[in-house]
Structure 1
Amino acid sequence: ELKEAIDVYGVAYEFGRINYDYRPLMHDLVLRRVLCHSMLGNFKEGLRECELALRIIPNGATANLLRGLLHSKLGNGDKANDAFQHAVTQNRDLRDVVD
């Protein structure tokens, strides 16, 4: 089901990108793909999707939080901490989540 969800979100993203270019929706669709990749253990692919999300909405707190989680799962502690700190910089409410 998760692989199908990745495909569906991808199609919706492409359709929206071509026809609407509504950044919040495109960002949300990409983040849903990130979560699916993470749940499947595809952490590197999830990181690539995080980078896409950050190109859509630069400095997005949620994308940086997920990027930190994925780096943590890959054992990249320094990169994870950098991403977590960047997330907190964008949204102070996340400081309790990343401590």
Structure 2
Amino acid sequence: MSLDSLPTELLCNILCRLDPIGLISRRHFVERLLALEADPRHGGPPLSFRSRDNHLDPGTSESGWDAMRWACTQCMRLRPHTAFGNHALLRLRYRKPRRES
């Protein structure tokens, strides 16, 4: 049954009861979650890793590491590094984008 076949009164009743948050697609929600990850207020400081000399900033023993959060597209939440494999977080394709990019 399509929405076009419903009476106008019923359509108005349905539309009035819709939650606008429920109308956001999964793709758009992931994009917003990634934007939060890149924001230092929510995702923590950016991670910098140089593979040529294995320099990591901030280091794993520094407090900045615990403040960082990464977007999990499975549970749709910002999660700490303990929820992911550290080797995966250091890979180029999974690194947080810089704020200016």
User: With structure 2 as the length reference, what TM-score do the two structures score?
Assistant: 0.33
| Bigger strand fraction | 2
| Bigger helix fraction | 1
Question: Which of these two proteins has the greater Rg computed from alpha carbons?
Answer: 2
